[in-house]
Structure 1
Amino acid sequence: MNATVTPTSAMPQLPAGDGPAAAALQWLCDPRPDIDTSVPAPVPLGTVLAAAIDAKLVCLLADRLLDGLPDVGLSRPMRSVLGQIMRANTLHNRLHHGEAARIVRALAGRGVPVAVLNGLAYDSALYPPGGLRQFTDIDLLVGADDLDTAVETLVELGFTEPGRGTHTRRRSTGDPLTPTVSVDITTGLGHTADPAALRAALARADAEGGVGAGEALPVLIREDALPHTLARLAARPRWTSLADAARLALSAPDPYSGAGVPLPEAARAGWAMLRTHLPEVFTSSSTGTSPSGGPGREEGPR
């Protein structure tokens, strides 16, 4: 992946960008399977917990603590609370998966190509089982020509309440844990709004299953998801986006190497943020990453 790395001083900053809270969040975003699952020694557990809640990474924290520490490391009430948080998020994600599958079926019936983006799309594809990826709504990608049809379809399915965005619709569920479901429709990706590029991405969309669900959802293939996620990370820095981008960068095939194709400009700052906040992952030759701004390349940037 050939990219011009944006200087650190010019990069967008993540919340709590330094100090013990940032160290804890970087530890949670690190996707390496052999990472030490115990809390970083200099960081108090209370600091880790508060930072993880604010960053929407508390389910990742719960998974690491419950899996990586002996019983004596956590009190019984703490273990119970962490387990309840994980179970509640699993139910939340299952409900959203079911709603997304219902919407995708309806859109397919009207001939509308669609892909599920972001949190729900990454939940089962990038994270261990158990609903560890936290998110608040269902993000859908459709072509600009299909936008009106997609919104009409949502209304027909009961999504009649306006949401925060122009093309966001909500509906009540009657579920005590997830009383509303919100769907946000977009006609652009983080790194491109070109109609031809979007049509191609929709045509390449693959199927991923959900947490405890039998019906797969159409999601971007990882070659398309990586620049999208990097660009979103740069445009709106969030720790959840950093965690997503790190997992995608380590698992996605590298379409930008070999043929000499540069990383899309909108995604370059996101790649630089990965290398800045997770230097042990993305500047080490042992990971196959390169100083030039992406995995699998050892020569300088172009």
Structure 2
Amino acid sequence: MNAPTTPTPATLPLPEGAGPAAAALRWLCDPRPDTSPPASASIPLGAVLEAAIDAKLVCLLADRLLGGPADAGLSRPMRSVLGQIVRANTLHNRLHRGEAVRIVRALAGRAMPVAVLNGLAYDAVLYPPGGLRQFTDIDLLVDAADRDAALDVLAELGFTEPGRGAHTRRRSTGDALTPTVSVDITTGLGHTADPADIRAALARTEAEGDGGEALPVLARADALAHALARLAARPRWSGLADAARLALPAPDQSPGAGAPLPETARSGWAVLRAHLPEVFTSTSTAGGANRGEETR
């Protein structure tokens, strides 16, 4: 991974502004469980569905709509389709989790520290049960000195097909829903590529549990800095949702509090404040940092 550069906070991709679809996406990104949805009368469901699919938030949308009032105006076929979307993603995530457990176990057997990053790491930690966090591959952080050895381990486990990048490998699963699984090996985080920082982050990993074998994930402060820097470098709705869920219960990690965040991560706060101003203020992580979060 190239060393991060200091990004300029940007505007999230379309739809943007004050339109109903953007309002719905901001509602999905808001981590507070008691947040009211936008006025239903102003939301064209078709446009919102399209926007949520493009933003990789359609499972969150489905979960919130299905968990809403019974008289929310959803037809029985629509409820069925939304339920199928969530169930399909749940199976997708379970398959990836099983592969991640297998890989982490093999790397641990070679005494290689590793952390699971991004979508898979966030799925069980930041979101309600049910596979609501959508992602496409397994992201693994390793020490730069272990990268080639980690790729060798992937090859031994059947990951021999080249992927999108030089350090991405894929394998066929034979599963009709998820025919391939991709693994991306990285040696840097959103806010740092310094080998000493990476080794320190790997030493601070925590065990994430999901009712089975735990996976190693970044400590929350490291995960927050990583997510904020990624959000600043590439503003996306799914990244906004992740960063908001990491930031809400972490007032001690706000800019100027305690150990300062890297500049790249500080830029992510500007993105959070710009798009979720009712949650994140200019002086703290959240106006209601202890009002609860969608997590388990």
TM-score surpassing 0.5? Answer: yes
Aligned partners of 1:38 and 1:65 also within 8 Å: no
Aligned residue among 270, 283, 295 for 1:292: 283
Aligned partners of 2:24 and 2:37 also within 8 Å: no
2:31 partner letter: P
Cα distance in 2 for residues equivalent to 1:253 and 1:202: 23
2:283 partner letter: S
Do residues 85 (structure 1) and 85 (structure 2) align? yes
Aligned residue among 4, 9, 13 for 1:15: 13
Aligned partners of 2:160 and 2:170 also within 8 Å: yes
Query: Structure 1 residues 39, 53: CA separation in 2 closer, same or farther (over 3 Å shift)?
Result: farther
Cα distance in 1 for residues equivalent to 2:93 and 2:134: 8
1:146-295 maps to which residues of 2 (within 5 A)?
146-210=146-210, 213-252=211-250, 254-255=252-253, 260-283=258-281, 291-292=282-283, 294=285
Deviation digits for residues 225-256 of structure 1 (CA, Å, limit 9, x no counterpart): 00100000111111110000000001336246
2:13 partner letter: P
Query: What is the Cα deviation at residue 200 of structure 1?
Result: 0.8
Cα distance in 2 for residues equivalent to 1:109 and 1:39: 53
The percent of aligned pairs where both chains have the same amino acid is: 77
Which secondary structure does the structure 1 equivalent of 2:252 belong to?
Answer: coil
Cα distance in 1 for residues equivalent to 2:80 and 2:61: 14
2:9 partner letter: M
Q: Please report the RMSD computed on the Cα atoms of aligned residues, expressed in angstroms.
A: 2.0
Aligned partners of 2:252 and 2:258 also within 8 Å: no
Which secondary structure does the structure 2 equivalent of 1:198 belong to?
Answer: helix
Structure 2 unaligned regions, length at least 5: 1-5, 288-296
Query: What is the Cα deviation at residue 269 of structure 1?
Result: 1.8
Cα distance in 2 for residues equivalent to 1:224 and 1:58: 27
Query: What is the Cα deviation at residue 39 of structure 1?
Result: 5.8
Aligned partners of 2:255 and 2:261 also within 8 Å: no
Aligned partners of 2:251 and 2:285 also within 8 Å: no
Structure 1 counterpart of 2:56: 56
Which secondary structure does the structure 2 equivalent of 1:128 belong to?
Answer: coil
1:276 partner letter: A
Cα distance in 2 for residues equivalent to 1:48 and 1:39: 13
Cα distance in 2 for residues equivalent to 1:116 and 1:64: 27
Query: What is the Cα deviation at residue 43 of structure 1?
Result: 2.0
Instruction: Give the TM-score taking structure 1 as reference length.
Output: 0.88
1:208 partner letter: E
Instruction: Give the TM-score taking structure 2 as reference length.
Output: 0.90
2:112 partner letter: V
Task: State how many pairs are aligned.
Answer: 280
Cα distance in 2 for residues equivalent to 1:134 and 1:39: 26
Which secondary structure does the structure 2 equivalent of 1:207 belong to?
Answer: strand
Deviation digits for residues 10-56 of structure 1 (CA, Å, limit 9, x no counterpart): 52221112222211110110110111257654221111111001100
Query: Structure 1 residues 124, 39: CA separation in 2 closer, same or farther (over 3 Å shift)?
Result: farther
Aligned partners of 1:138 and 1:182 also within 8 Å: yes
Query: What is the Cα deviation at residue 264 of structure 1?
Result: 0.7
Cα distance in 2 for residues equivalent to 1:67 and 1:39: 16
Structure 2 counterpart of 1:300: none
Aligned partners of 2:228 and 2:268 also within 8 Å: yes
Structure 2 counterpart of 1:286: none
Structure 1 counterpart of 2:131: 131
Aligned partners of 1:191 and 1:266 also within 8 Å: yes
Deviation digits for residues 166-209 of structure 1 (CA, Å, limit 9, x no counterpart): 10000000000000000001000000011111111101100112
